[in-house]
Structure 1
Amino acid sequence: MRKQIMVIGLGQFGMGLIKTLAKKNAEVIALDVDQKKVQMASAYAAQVLCCDATDEDMLRQLNPASRDVCICATGDQSKEAAIICTALLKQMGARRVIARANDELHARILSLVGADEVINPEWAFGERFANRVINEAILEEMSLGSDLVVTEFKTPGAFANKSLLDLNLRRRYEMTVVAIRAAQSGQVKLAQPEEVLHRDDILVVVSTIGSVSRLLDETKEPR
C-alpha cells in the first residue's frame, strides 16, 4: 500500500522532499501559500493546494489523521507558521508529525507543541560534511540517534588483503561492517567475517560516534 504523506511548505527542502517521495512511489499531498511553487509541485505530487496551513478549518478538511506522515517544512519561511501548523496537526490526530526547525529554541518549541520528530537539514548536512572535510576517506555519514552513525568510507591501505575476522573491528573500534562495495567491480554485498578486503573497497559500517575517525587517524598512511 502506498504511503500517504502530507508536505507543508515548498521551499528548497520541501520541493526536494516531494520529488524524492514521488520517486519512491509515495502518494504526496503538497501545500504552500505561493502559487508558483504549487504549480511546480504539481509535476510530482498527487495533489497540490495553494493555501495557508495555519487556517484551522482548511487544514481539518485535508484530514491529517488519515495520512501516514505529515511534514511541516515551513521552517525556513516562518517560525510562527511552523509552530501553529505543527500544533494543529497533532490536535487533529496526525499519526506522525515531522517539523523543520530554524534554530535550537525553535526546535524545543516544536517538540513542546507535539512534533514527533524535529529536523534541521542544514545542521545535519553541516555535521556530515565537516567529517568529510576532516577525513577525505569518509564518503557519507548518517546519524542513527544520539550515539550511533552509519558511515561509508574507503578501506585504509593497512587493511588490504586482510579479512574482517582478522581485523576484529567490532572489538577494536566499536563498529560493525554491514556491507562492502568492491573497488574493482562496484558490486555491493553483505559483509561476511571471512571477507578479504582490498585497497579502495568501500565499507559501510555502524559504529559509535568518532570510531571511524579514530580508525582512519590510526591507519593513516604517511604522505
Structure 2
Amino acid sequence: MAKNQYAVFGLGSFGAKLAVELGKAGNTVVIVDIDRQRVDDLREKVTEAIIADVSNEEVVRELNVAKFDAVILGMSSHFEDQVLALTLLKQEGARKVLAKANTAIQERILYRLGADEVIQPEQDVAERISRRLSMANITDLFEFKGSAFAEVSVPARMAGKSLRQLDLRNRCNVTVLLMHKPGCPTETILSPDTLLEKGDQLTVFGSRESILKLFKEN
C-alpha cells in the first residue's frame, strides 16, 4: 500500500508530536521549521527535515506542496507567519491544509483564508472530557463526516438482550462494530444473537443524536 505524504510546517509541541506520530504510522513525513534545533531533534524520526522559513514565497514554491496529501500548519504562536504560509500554500496548489489555532478568532480567520480544517487541540480535548463526564455511558465520541464513532457502555436496560432483539441498526440507525467484555480481548461482533451484559464496552457508529439518545442515560 502506498504511503501518504504529509508536510508539517512549524515544530512546536503540537507539530512535533503530530510529525512523529505520522511517521510511526508509516507515512512519508517532511518537516519544516526555521529553528535548527527543533528540526535536528526530529531529523531521525521523519523522512526529510528542512530548515527554512515557510512564510517565504520562494521556499514554499520549492517545496512543491501540491504533491502532499496534506500540509499541517502548527505555527499558531506566530500567527502572522501562519497566515502568510496558508496564503502561499493555497497559491501553490496545496491539496489540503490543516491549521492549528489558539483562539476562536484565529479559527475564523484561517477558515476564511482557505484552510480545509482548523484544529484547536486544547478546545477539542476539553470538549471530549466534558462529553465523557456528562454522559454516563459514553466514554468517547468522535464526529466524522456528519456521523460519529463512539465508545459506550451497555446500560442496564439493554442487558440480557441480543443485538437481534435490540435491532439498533434498523430502529435507531446505530451499528455496533466491536465489543469488549471485561477481562476479555476486544472482538468484532459476529453474531446478531450475541447477548449484551451491563458494563460491556461497545464501539458504535451512527448519527451523534442517535448515539446520545441511546446511551446517554442508564
* TM-score, L = length of structure 1: 0.87
CA–CA distance in structure 1, aligned partners of residues 37 and 142 of structure 2: 33
Establish whether residue 115 from structure 1 lines up as the match of residue 115 from structure 2: yes
- Per-residue Cα deviation, 1:140-165 (whole angstroms, up to 9, x for no partner): 221124x5321101212332221122
Kindly state the Cα deviation for residue 36 of structure 1 after the two structures are TM-superposed. Answer: 2.1
- In structure 1, stretches of 5+ residues that fail to align are none
**What SS does structure 1 have at the residue aligned with 2:161?**
coil
Residue type at the aligned position of 1:114: G
**What SS does structure 2 have at the residue aligned with 1:94?**
coil
Residue type at the aligned position of 1:120: Q
Seen in structure 2, the aligned counterparts of structure 1 residues 191 and 129 have a Cα distance that, compared at 3 Å, is farther
**What SS does structure 2 have at the residue aligned with 1:78?**
helix
Kindly state the Cα deviation for residue 201 of structure 1 after the two structures are TM-superposed. Answer: 1.8
> What percent identity do the matched residue pairs reach?
32
CA–CA distance in structure 1, aligned partners of residues 151 and 184 of structure 2: 17
* TM-score, L = length of structure 2: 0.89
CA–CA distance in structure 2, aligned partners of residues 11 and 141 of structure 1: 27
Please show how residues 30-179 of structure 1 align to structure 2 within 5 Å.
30-75=31-76, 77-145=77-145, 147-170=146-169, 173-179=172-178
- Per-residue Cα deviation, 1:21-61 (whole angstroms, up to 9, x for no partner): 11111110111222222122213111112221101111211
Establish whether residue 186 from structure 1 lines up as the match of residue 210 from structure 2: no
Q: Tell me how many residue pairs correspond in the alignment.
A: 217
CA–CA distance in structure 1, aligned partners of residues 199 and 61 of structure 2: 54
CA–CA distance in structure 1, aligned partners of residues 104 and 144 of structure 2: 19
- The root-mean-square deviation of aligned C-alpha atoms, in Å, is 2.1
CA–CA distance in structure 2, aligned partners of residues 217 and 135 of structure 1: 5
Please say which of residues 61-70 and 108-117 is displaced more in the overlay: 108-117
Kindly state the Cα deviation for residue 214 of structure 1 after the two structures are TM-superposed. Answer: 3.7
Kindly state the Cα deviation for residue 178 of structure 1 after the two structures are TM-superposed. Answer: 2.2
Residue type at the aligned position of 1:121: P
